Structure 1
Amino acid sequence: MTHIHRSITIAALIDDVWAYLTESDKIAQWLMPNTFVAQLGHAFTMDCPPGIGSGAPVRCEITELQPPEKGRARLAYTWVIDEPFTETLLEIELIELAQQTRCDLVHSGWRDGEDTLRDRHEEGWDMLLENRLRPLLEDG
């Protein structure tokens, strides 16, 4: 079992980055349309468009929700795909730096035989974090 780990530093305040992780309309701008509500235990879906993924929804449930406090924040939720069935965990930690925020993402729980799907997610996270999330916060 391997995991995906990505870390980027964004020239934005932690509260602004947090908003793009926890507000449905902002999540949709860089990740996917969704039914996210920032509430521990909330089950929601992400609508994965064909071409990027399977075209089927990703089913999620928030397992950790710690808003920014003392320069840190954490968010975690399950990430379940029905075809092929895959159940993983997405964890994001934000750490406030001087006028910047480090965003550490870990996508774990990949099992043997899921290498191709894991590799597609790894490429996806690279593109989403660098080419979609960062510009929204730095150029927005």
Structure 2
Amino acid sequence: MTARDVRTVVVEREIAHPPSKLWRALTQPHLIAEWLMANDFVPDVGHRFQLCGDWGGVLDCEVLEVEPGETLSYSWNHRHADAVYDLESVVTFTLTPIASGTLLRMEQAGFRPDQKQALGGAKHGWQQFFGKLEQLLDGLD
């Protein structure tokens, strides 16, 4: 498989909150659990952590990049009993200040061409996660 074969999900959303507030929701474990999944996240490059889905699945992750208030990137790997469903990807969040708050861009790269179901699930799933994220941010001080 070449880099050209890799599929990517990109979701952009204007969030009516400043980057600093959004950054807290992306990097504080108790807040991540509110909108994404239970976790043992620490925003330090090289930190290995897990995201635990309410469906019983576990994602093995490693922090790859941290630029406070701007960029957060980590691996997002899922092992499955059926290797066809294994996923090795990288999730990158980019925060850009805009007049109305923050432009949040999420890119998840690493879907193989035979992972159309996973790709579609990610497109749908990230929209749901971002909806929960906005609700969380609306309630934060």
| TM-score, normalised via structure 2 length | 0.89
Give the match's secondary structure for 2:68: strand
Equivalent residue for 1:17, pick from 8, 17, 22 = 22
- Identity over the aligned pairs, expressed in percent? 27
Q: Write out per-residue CA displacement over residues 64-119 of structure 1, whole angstroms, 9 at most, x where no aligned residue.
A: 00002xxxx00000000001321001010001123501100000111121110111
For residue 21 of structure 1, report the CA deviation from its aligned partner. 0.4
Unaligned stretches of 5+ residues in structure 2? 1-5
CA distance in 2, matches of 1:75, 1:86: 20
1:117 aligns with 2:122: no
How many residue pairs match? The answer is 131
Which structure has greater helix proportion? 2
Q: Write out per-residue CA displacement over residues 31-60 of structure 1, whole angstroms, 9 at most, x where no aligned residue.
A: 00001011111000000121xxxx221000
Which residue identity is paired with 1:31? L
Extract structure 1 runs of 4+ deviating beyond 4 A.
Answer: none
CA RMSD of aligned residues (A): 1.1
| TM-score, normalised via structure 1 length | 0.89
Unaligned stretches of 5+ residues in structure 1? none
Partner of 1:136: 136
Partner of 1:101: 102
